[in-house]
A and B are shown apart, each in its own frame.
Chain A
């Protein structure tokens, strides 16, 4: 009884809830896994269980879709967004947490509000501004990875900064105040005290920024050309062209979907503990 004080549900209810939810969650995931190693025609016929093992789906996809180029574009863009946004976020958060100034509360609220701006509202004006920038610079902007990088970087900032704000609040201010008394400049404090101490927060901020870039379809669908296409758009186009095609290759489609999901799932599994904390911090605190 004593160890059972925290029990909230009777054992059978608990078991039933977990079983039902596991089936609900895992059925589509297992389908993706099974179909990815199944014969294309079997999948098109609606089979759930693979009748024969077709690991060659994973070899064929690279020539069927521009998956390799898409992955490279996504890794480069999302990776650099992750790195840069965490650094910009920690600098902004440091000032917001440690100093009082006019407009501070407004910025903090703004960071939360900006996370909820509909992407569809921003797409057209960002597109128009980049088009005008092309005219000014005399070079192509839309269709380059740079355009995506700048866009994702900015849209990642409100959340990344908020994550860092919550993280830095947990760091004792005495450390950097002592350094300040020793005459260290703010830049020095940020570089040699704040950043080394806040790497778990930086990891969370980076990963969410990475996911924003990796998962986006909205901006990438109008701001890329076939050369700079991210893997998200490559998969979406692949899926959309299956219908009405002569020979639908759904097995390969599921294999590609799995490849697209893999980096994200691996990142999540490796950093799970940090991420769950970061998510709830970003969401509610």
Chain B
């Protein structure tokens, strides 16, 4: 990615001349420098370091002089794929992210449809709907962890002893809590999509005398398809990268059933101190993220006028 960090300073041009917009001079490219330098130093250089480290046998003994750690080419990648929990973690991460994403669709859409028309208290309902999304993930994790602890209110309401934060149930705990905190994003995007449907479309459908579900099915949903598709990709990416919620909810090392990719990578670095191996895992998770991301980037319009 070429961010112009070495942009030449704009030449001071005293005569006004024609609008400089399409001219080569007088473009203040130096204004890109502060942001560009930061992005290069704190994101692009570390990306390069991550790629390098993933090829080294780096652990806590070699960390101090990390550039001198033995070069082992792709051994970390081979080990990550064949001899660690990585394939399992990918399976868990992709599976739960997809489940949550699919589940947010009807919830978010129903919420958007139900709050589209004005009614008394609508502003209040809308604000309430956004609360789970606004709460910091570390607060959401802490609260749900308390609700679901063995002696917590969930079990005392049920009157039975279930383990929610360990064992096979933990997977569904993660799905439900992630759904709880992430569906409002889909709601917001669906609601903004609904607002852009013109009055004429509504009137045409009303004139046809269509039943409400037929109107939704044949008039409203086709209009929302583009917005919803993008919303689903964003939600999926968001779930896939989510670290704080599983980390706070289950702690580390994570229970086997909720050993998601970000937490596994974290543990490999900062608990097991296998830095090289962890970097290889992180690079592989970037490859995984790149698949939905490239779909997203292709779909997004960069310029208003670009169609």
The residues of A with any CB-CB pair to B shorter than 8 Å are 1, 5-10, 13-14, 17-18, 21-22, 24-26, 28-29, 31-32, 35, 43-48, 88-89, 91-92, 94-96, 98-101, 103, 105-110, 112-114, 116-126, 128-129, 131, 150-151, 153-155, 157-158, 161, 169, 173, 177, 180-183, 185-187, 190, 211, 214-218, 221-222, 232, 235-236, 239-240, 243, 250, 253-254, 257, 260-261, 264-265, 268-269, 272, 276, 279-280, 283-285
Contact = CB atoms under 8 A, between A and B. Distances in A.
Interface string B43-74: 10111111001000000000100100000000
Contact of A28 (B35, B144, B231): B144
B85 interface: no
The main secondary structure of chain B at its interface with chain A is: helix
Contact of B269 (A26, A119, A123, A190): A123
The main secondary structure of chain A at its interface with chain B is: helix
Most A CB within 10 A of own CB, among B1, B38, B138, B230: B138
Interface stretch (B11-19, B76-84, B95-103, B167-175): B11-19
Interface in B111-169: 111, 113-117, 125, 127-132, 134-147, 149, 151-157
A126 B46 contact: yes
Contacts of B42: 126, 150-151, 154-155
Contact of A18 (B45, B114, B203, B234): B114
Interface of B: 1-4, 10, 12, 14, 16, 19-22, 26-29, 31-32, 34-36, 38-39, 41-43, 45-50, 53, 63, 66, 107, 110-111, 113-117, 125, 127-132, 134-147, 149, 151-157, 180, 185, 188-189, 192, 194, 199, 202-203, 206, 212, 215-216, 220, 227, 230-231, 234, 237, 240-241, 243-244, 247-248, 251, 261-262, 265-266, 269-270, 275, 278-279, 282-283, 285-286, 289, 293, 296-297, 300-302, 304
Contacts of B265: 118, 120-121
B153 A48 contact: yes
B293 A116 contact: yes
A112 B295 CA distance: 12
Given A121-B283, A180-B20, A187 B28 contact: yes
A280 B188 contact: yes
B138 to A, nearest CB: 5
